[in-house]
Every structure is written in structure tokens, then in C-alpha cells.
Amino acid sequence: MTSKGGPDGGDGGRGGHVIVRGNAQMWTLLPLKYQKHVKASSGLNGSGQEKSGADGEDKYIDVPLGTVAKDEETGEILFEITDDGQLQTLVKGGRGGQGNVHFKSPTFQTPRFAQPGEEPVEGWFILELKVLADVGLVGFPNAGKSTLLSVVSKAKPEIANYPFTTLVPNLGIVDYRGYKSFVMADIPGIIEGAAEGKGLGHRFLRHIERNALLLFMIPADADDYEKEYNILLGELVKYNPELADKDRILAVTKSDMIDEDLQAEIAVQLPKDIPHVFISSVANFNIMQLKDMIWEKLNAPV
């Protein structure tokens, strides 16, 4: 307020927003691992002659496509980033205060107070990345998923003969004919009851939603091929019924242990509604045939 005139105090600027932005050039949330606190700047105070203060500068967090934001306390999903350049406000900046000019009235000409702005808004949030891949490997522990990925790509997943060796997804770029390529994801092994949270449960299943094609893997020494396949498919569908609509291929792994006659016997026992191939990652048996099948599925007309 001027010394002789009426009130002329301007409004304060709002605080900056914290905004999550989709970036198609990013593949991991690793840059955020050591940046646990993200802070936008405060708005500036208003000044005389009814000049409003500048808003605080917004803070942008770039994330890969497929990132999900959750409330840390409740676990509620707030939004998912699916498009390049997509913007979602994670935290809104606090409202700026109102200058004393707003409180002038015919009966109160010289208010000497203003409304303060809101306190800074704080919150804890979880940013979680769903794996983005063309092919997702689906199988019980020890089905040979990590071995296949290590053979067809330069990925080096940990491999050992015990369940749940793969605790986090591994991505590998698979070279194909004529300098083409596709991305394959080895994701943690599923067990019966995963949809209810047994074993790795949802930690596994959430990664499979964004795969274009599901490659089911059952070892040649399994006791019941169709039963094993139905358990795997059943867990996926219980978690998300839309997964039933994805294209599927069945690979019978470790097939270097069996001859052609035994392959023919096993083929009769396999589910009839899904194409299959017998493979051995270690012996490089039918690996190119598997790549051909995958490529054909990925590039089939919609």
C-alpha cells in the first residue's frame, strides 16, 4: 500500500508444479535412483501498484513410457505415462497469496493486511516402470528363459538351477535377418497362485502387460505340458483378462534331450490353439525357426 493512496498490493505467484513427462528416448528409471527429493521453486511475492509476483518455476521429471505413478502411502495408481511428451502433474504448487487490494471495501478503505499463500505441498510417491518389450517370456522357474535370452541377445542375466534366479526383468535386443531386431524381456518365473500374490506374484505379473507377444516356455521333461500351459495362462488371465487377447507362441525347451519320435509324441499332448516349436538354447536347435515365428507374429496385419 502506498503511503498516501489506497491499497495496491499485488498477488503472490503460485508455487511451481512437479510434472512427470514421458520421454520415448529413456528406457530406465535409474537416473532417479539417487534423486529422492524433487523440489519446484516457490512463487514470488506481489508488489506495489498491484503487480503480481511471478509463479514458481515448474520442475519436470522425465520418465520412460510405461511408468506408473503411485501414492506411496495408499498404493493408489495416480496415472500412467504411455506417450512421448505426455504431461501429468504429480504435485500442484501451492496457491499464491492475495494482496491487500482484495480486501478493500466501501467501509474499509485502507486494509493493512493480505492473505498469505498456501504452505508448500509435499508428498511421497512411487514411480514404477512396466517393462516395454516386443516379446515377454512366460514360464515356471527353470524353464530356460534366461538361457534363451543370453543366447539370442547380448543380455547377461544371472543363470542358476534354482527357482526365482531372475528377480528383476532383463531386456535383450535380438538381432534378426537383414539388420532387423526386436526386444525380448526375461521376466521372473511364475508359479501357480501368482495372481493372488504367491511367490513373486504381482511383482512379476505387472511386467507382462506391455509385451506385444507372449512366448510360453515349457521344458521337454515336464510332467504334463497342457496342464503347465493352462496354469501359466490361467494366472495371467486372473491378473488381467486382457492378457488372453495377446498373441502367443509355445516353445518346448531343452529339446536336445529328445529325439524326433519323442518330439512327435509330445506334440500330440500340446495345446491345439497355439503354434509351437521345439528348441534348445544350449544346442542352438531351432533358434532361428523360433525367431522367424516371433517376427511373423510381431509383423502380422492387425
pLDDT digits (tens, 9 = 90+) for 62-81: 988 878 888 888 888 888 88
Q: Specify the 3-state DSSP secondary structure of 96.
A: coil
Same domain, 89 and 167: no
Closest CA relative to residue 183, chosen from 204, 158, 213:
213
- Give the whole-number percent of the chain exceeding pLDDT 70: 65
Are 253 and 139 in the same domain?
yes
pLDDT of residue 46: 41
**In the predicted model, is pLDDT for residue 104 greater than 80?**
no
Q: Report the distance separating Cα 42 and Cα 58, nearest Å.
A: 9
Q: Read off the pLDDT of residues 123-169 as tens digits, 9 standing for 90 and up.
A: 788 888 776 678 888 888 778 888 898 888 875 544 344 333 334 56
CATH code of 198's domain: 3.40.50.300
Axis-axis angle for helices 145-152, 287-298 (nearest 10): 90
Residue 49, phi-psi category: left (phi > 0), alpha (psi -120 to 50), beta (remainder): left
pLDDT above 90 coverage of the chain, percent: 24
Note whether 172 and 184 are within 8 A (CB): yes
Tell if the pTM clears 0.85, that is, is over it: no
Closest CA to 251 of 283, 223, 214, 282: 214
Whether the Cβ atoms of residue 117 and residue 10 lie closer than 8 Å to each other: no
Q: Which amino acid is at 201?
A: G
Report how far residue 237's alpha carbon sits from residue 231's, in angstroms, rounded to the nearest whole number. Answer: 10
Query: Domain range spanning residue 184?
Result: 135-298
**Contacts of 27 by beta carbon, 8 Å cutoff, 6+ apart:** 64, 132, 171
| In a shared domain, residues 143 and 115 | no
The CATH code of the domain that includes 44 is: 2.70.210.12
Q: Mean pLDDT lowest for which of 7-11, 117-121, 142-146, 227-231?
A: 7-11
Last residue of a domain, one of 110, 129, 148: 129
Grid coordinates belonging to 190: 511364475
pLDDT for the residue numbered 65: 81
In angstroms, the CA 255 to CA 214 distance is 20
Q: What pLDDT digit, counting tens, does each position of 177-214 carry? A: 988 888 888 776 565 555 455 544 455 556 666 678 99
User: Which residue, chain included where needed, has cell 515336464?
Assistant: 222
Provide mean pLDDT across the span 210-233: 90
**Between vectors from CA 282 to CA 232 and to CA 272, what angle results, nearest 5°?**
35
Instruction: Please check whether residues 185 and 244 belong to one and the same domain.
Output: yes
SS3 269: helix
The answer to whether residues 67 and 142 belong to one domain is no
Residue 83: other Cβ atoms inside 10 A: 9
Shared-domain flag, residues 61 and 148 = no
pLDDT at 67: 86
Residues 99 and 183 in one domain: no
Say yes or no: 112 and 227 in one domain.
no
* pLDDT tens, position by position, 1-20: 444 444 444 444 566 788 88
What's residue 192's pLDDT?
Answer: 53
Question: How far is the C-alpha of 275 from the C-alpha of 56, rounded, in Å?
Answer: 57
Q: What is the 3-state secondary structure (H, E, C) of 153-214?
A: CCCCCCCCCCCCCCCCCEEEEEEEHHHEEEEEEECCCCCCCHHHCCCCCHHHHHHHCCCCEE
Mean of pLDDT over the chain: 75
Asked if 213 and 254 count as a contact pair (C-beta separation under 8 A), the reply is no
Which residue has cell 514421458?
22
Q: Highest mean pLDDT: which of 57-71, 118-132, 213-227?
A: 213-227
Task: Tell whether 151 and 283 lie within a shared domain.
Answer: yes
Rg for the chain (alpha carbons), in Å? Answer: 28
Domains contained in the chain, number: 2
Q: What pLDDT is recorded for position 158?
A: 45
* Residue whose grid cell is 486382457: 242
DSSP reduced 3-state for 215: strand
Q: Would you tell me the crossing angle of helices 260-269 and 225-239 to the nearest 10 degrees?
A: 50
Highest mean pLDDT among 143-147, 155-159, 239-243, 253-257: 253-257
Last residue of a domain, one of 97, 129, 161: 129
Answer yes or no: do 44 and 121 share one domain.
yes
Note whether 139 and 273 are same-domain residues: yes
Is residue 262 pLDDT above 70, yes or no?
Answer: yes
96 and 188 fall within a common domain: no
At 219 the pLDDT is 94
What is the predicted pLDDT for the residue at 173?
82
Q: Is the pLDDT confidence value at 111 over 70? A: no
Last residue of a domain, one of 129, 153, 169: 129
